Structure 1
C-alpha cells in the first residue's frame, strides 16, 4: 500500500515538473479518424528530422504520387534504372531520324539506278541499229559509175547528173507542197524518221556546171556553187572552239558598215560580244569594242540586222533584240512552240534549236516544234517586235542535217559538219513552198563546222569551223521570171 502511494506521489511530482513542457495534439489520421497525440520534449535530442506534424508527411506522400502520375501521362516517366529514361527517348528519336535519312538516300539511289538502266538500254538499241545499218551498207552493191560524155550537141551533157525522183537515196527528200500560215497552226509533218544512229542525209555527188556569161552571181536565183573556204582568224583559247561571227548589212551609227562582230559560245554564261573595226583588225585579234549582254546567249544562232543583235536567251525559247547603240534590250518575245536546249538541234548538237539569220528578204528563224515532229520550220520575223509574220513547214528532219542557211528566201541544208567533202543537199523555196534535193559540193576544211550563215553585207557564207573563222564565196543563178 505504501508503495502504491509513493508511486502516485512520484508521478504527480513528475507531471508538475513537466507541466510547462508537455503538449497534447489532436488531428485526423489518413483514414479520417480523430487521433490524439501527447508529446514530450526529448531530454537527449535538441531537434528531430521531422519538424512538421504527421499530416504534412501525408501530404508529401500524396504529392509524390500525383507527380508520378503526371510524369506518366506526359511521357516523361523514368522507366530505366538510374533515371536515364529521357536519354533513352532522345536516343530513340535520333535513331529514327537516321533511319529515315537512310531510306531517303536508298530511294534516290534506286531512282538513279533505274535511270541509268534506261539510258543503257537506249544506247544498246542504238548500237544494235548502227550495227544492222553497217551490215546493210556493206552488203549493198556499189552503184554503177556513169561516165559523163562531153558533147556540145547534147543538152543532157551540159546539165549536171541528177538522181531520179524515185531513186531510193533521194525519194525521201522530195517534199510535198506546203501551205503557208502562222506557226501556231502548223500541220504535223509527214517526215518519216530514219535510223536514229545516222543523222546525216545521204546525197549523190554530181557535177556543177561551169558558169557562163549569163550568170553574173549577183542575182537572187538558186545557189549554183560554193567556193573554197578562206580562213580569216583562229580563236585564241578553248572558248573559241564554237562560235558565231557576223556583219550588219545595214549598220547603224556609231558603228560603221565594215564592223565585224564575234561571240565565243563555249560556256554556260555567254555574254561577251567583241567588235572589230574591219576584217584586218579581226585577223589581228584586237577588238575595238566589247559589249556585255544583259542576258546569256545560247548556241551559235545569233545574227545582226539594222543596228541590233538578235539572239536566243539561254535555257528558253525567248528571242531578244539587243540594240548596240543604247546597249540595252529593245524587244523580247517567245518563239511560239519552238524547241530549245537540245530538243531539236542540228546533228552536231550544241543546243542549236533556234537558228536566226538575215537575207535580202529580212529576218528569219529556223527551228522545230513538237507539232512538226522535229521537221524544220521556217518563220519570217518582224525585226522590230520579233513577231512571227509567216511560217513554212518542211519535210526535212532538223536533227538529220549539220546546219542550214537562207539566201534570197531559200533555205539550204548542209549534210555533214565533220566530213571534209560534203554537200549542200537540200533547198526549200519559201516563195513557192516547194523543196527539192540538191548536190552542191561544200568543204569543212577543219573538220567541225558549228556555224554557217549567209552574210548579206558581203554576199558570202560565214562559218565557224573548229576554232577557225572562215568564209565562202557563192554563186547564184539568175532570178527566174
Structure 2
C-alpha cells in the first residue's frame, strides 16, 4: 500500500500544478470514511500498475527537486538583490540628509539676514520719518519766526514813532513831576499804570527807552541781573519748540531739566535727562552744552544708588531731587559728589499709582521749582485725592509749609508752580488743552483759567517751569519741548523764612511776544 499512497500523493502534487482533480468520499468496507482523489494523467490514459508507479514517482521527485532548486536559487538571488538594494538605499540616505541639513542651515541664515535687513529698513524708515517731521517742524518754526520778525519790525517802527511823539512833549505827565507824588494823594494820573495796554507799551519800548527809564529812576538801584524777571500771574503759553527726540522705546516718556540755580561746573546750559520707561530706572544723562543735548551726545552718565519713580524729578542748586521707587520718599542726590545728601518721607502722601495725574505713570509725587524755591505736589487720603502743595527746604527736605487745594489730582494731566502759584494742565493728549486752574498760596484761593496749551505730539507726561529761563519744559511722546510764557503785572516773590529781606517792590512786564521783558524797581 505504500506505493499506492505515494501514487496518490503524486497525483495530488500533480494536481497542484494546475491539473484538474476530483475528490470523492465514501465508506469503505469497514465503515470508515475514505477520500479518493482522481487526477488525469498527462501522459497516460489510465493509471499504471503498481510496478509501473515507481518510475513515475521518481520522475515526479526529480522534477520537484529541480523546481525546489530553482526556487532556492531564485530566493538566493532575490535575497542578494534585497541586500544590495538595502545597502544602496542606506548609503544614499546619509547624503541627502546631510545636504538637507546644510540647505536648512543656509535657509535659516538667509532668513536671519532678511529679518535684520527688514529691521534696518524699518529703523531707517522711522528715522527718515522723524527727519521729515523735524524738517516740517523746523520749517513751520522758521515761518513763524519770520512772521514774528516782521511783526516785531512793525511794532518797533510804531514804538519809535510813539517815542518820538512822547519826546515832543505830548506825554500827559513827566517822570520828574510824578516822582514826588505820594501814592496816597488824591491826584489821579492820566496814565493808568495798572492798565495792561500801558504796560505792554512800555515793554515794547524796552530796546530804546528802558535803560533811560532805569537811569532816571529815583530808586537809585542798579538794573536787575540776568534771570531776575520778577513775578506775576501766568497769562499766555506759547507754541512748543522741539529740542530733542528720543530714539528708543524707553524715551516715550521721561523728564528733562536745567538747573535754575546752577553750581559749577554746571552752567545754565547744562541739561539732564531721564528716560522713565522701565522698572529699574537709575540712569541720568548729563549734557554739558545745549548743542550736545539737541544732538543726543551726553557728556556724563550718573547711575543712582536707588531707582526712581515718576517723571517729577528736578535739578536745583546742584542736586537732583527725585521720588524713590515704590515709596513716598523724596531723595536729594548731590551731582558733584554723586552721593545722597538727604532723604525725607512726605507724610501720608500717596505713591505708586494711588494719586497720580490723569495720564498715570506713577506720578503721585511731583517736584517743582519756581522763583521762591523747591516744592512738592502730591495728595493724601486725608485730602481725598485733592492736590496738596508743600514747600520744601532744599537742604534737609523738611516741609516748611503746606496748602491743601480743592483741585482733584486725578482730574488734571500735570501741574507746575510759578511765583508761588500752582497751575494745572487740563489734558495730556488733547492738541487744544488749557491751563485750567490756578491756586495762589498767598491768598489760599483757586480760580479757573482757560490759557491755551498745545500738546503737539498728544502725550505730555511731564511739564515743569524753569524760573531762570522763564519757560515751561515738557516731555511729549518721545519729544522734549519748551514753551515760552508770559506773566501779567508782577508781584514780589514771597521770601523764604531763611532768606534775606527782599527789595520793597519789583515790577516786571512782558510784551506781546516772548523774550521782551522790562524790569523796574522802586522804593
3-state secondary structure, aligned to 1:294? strand
Q: Is the 8 A contact 1:342 1:351 kept in 2?
A: yes
Following superposition of structure 1 onto structure 2, how do residues 444-463 of structure 1 map, counting pairs within 5 Å?
A: 444-463=455-474
Give the Cα separation in 2 of the matches to 1:455 and 1:243: 17
Give the Cα separation in 2 of the matches to 1:293 and 1:210: 51
Kindly indicate whether residue 243 of structure 2 is the aligned counterpart of residue 255 of structure 1. no
Q: Which residue of 2 aligns with 1:212?
A: 200
Give the Cα separation in 1 of the matches to 2:446 and 2:306: 36
Kindly indicate whether residue 377 of structure 2 is the aligned counterpart of residue 366 of structure 1. yes
Q: Which residue of 1 aligns with 2:10?
A: none
Structure 1 residue 458: deviation in Å? 1.1
3-state secondary structure, aligned to 1:239? helix
> Runs (4+) of structure 1 moved beyond 2 Å?
208-219, 253-257
Q: Which residue of 2 aligns with 1:396?
A: 407
Structure 2 unaligned regions, length at least 5: 1-195, 205-227, 492-504, 506-523
Give the Cα separation in 1 of the matches to 2:392 and 2:309: 19
Q: Which residue of 2 aligns with 1:385?
A: 396
Q: 2:282 aligns with which of 271, 289, 303?
A: 271
Q: Which residue of 2 aligns with 1:349?
A: 360
Give the Cα separation in 2 of the matches to 1:459 and 1:478: 15
Structure showing greater relative contact order (alpha-carbon pairs closer than 8 Å, 6 or more residues apart): 1
Q: 1:243 to 1:338 in 2, by over 3 A?
A: same
Structure 1 residue 209: deviation in Å? 9.4
Offset from partner CA, 1:186-222 (integer Å, 9 cap, x none): xxxxxxxxxxxxxxxxxxxxxx999822568944110
Structure 1 residue 297: deviation in Å? 0.6
3-state secondary structure, aligned to 1:222? strand
Structure 1 residue 471: deviation in Å? 0.1
Q: Which residue of 2 aligns with 1:194?
A: none
Q: Is the 8 A contact 1:219 1:477 kept in 2?
A: no
3-state secondary structure, aligned to 1:342? coil
> Which protein shows a greater Rg?
2
Q: 2:483 aligns with which of 468, 472, 475?
A: 472
Give the Cα separation in 2 of the matches to 1:239 and 1:381: 30
Following superposition of structure 1 onto structure 2, how do residues 66-465 of structure 1 map, counting pairs within 5 Å?
A: 212-214=200-202, 218-465=229-476
Q: Which residue of 1 aligns with 2:186?
A: none
When you count helix as a share of all residues, which structure comes out higher? 2
3-state secondary structure, aligned to 1:283? helix
Structure 1 residue 376: deviation in Å? 0.3
Structure 1 residue 248: deviation in Å? 0.6
Point out the more displaced range, 443-452 or 271-280.
271-280
TM-score (norm 1): 0.55
TM-score (norm 2): 0.51
Give the Cα separation in 2 of the matches to 1:301 and 1:241: 15
Offset from partner CA, 1:351-381 (integer Å, 9 cap, x none): 0000001110000000000000000000000
Q: Is the 8 A contact 1:342 1:353 kept in 2?
A: yes
3-state secondary structure, aligned to 2:311? coil
Give the Cα separation in 1 of the matches to 2:403 and 2:230: 24
Structure 1 residue 467: deviation in Å? 0.1
Q: Is the 8 A contact 1:316 1:341 kept in 2?
A: yes
Offset from partner CA, 1:283-305 (integer Å, 9 cap, x none): 10000010000010101000011
Structure 1 residue 257: deviation in Å? 2.7
Q: Is the 8 A contact 1:427 1:436 kept in 2?
A: yes
Q: Which residue of 2 aligns with 1:58?
A: none
Offset from partner CA, 1:291-340 (integer Å, 9 cap, x none): 00001010100001110000000000001000001001000110111000
Q: 1:346 to 1:210 in 2, by over 3 A?
A: farther
Structure 1 residue 431: deviation in Å? 1.1
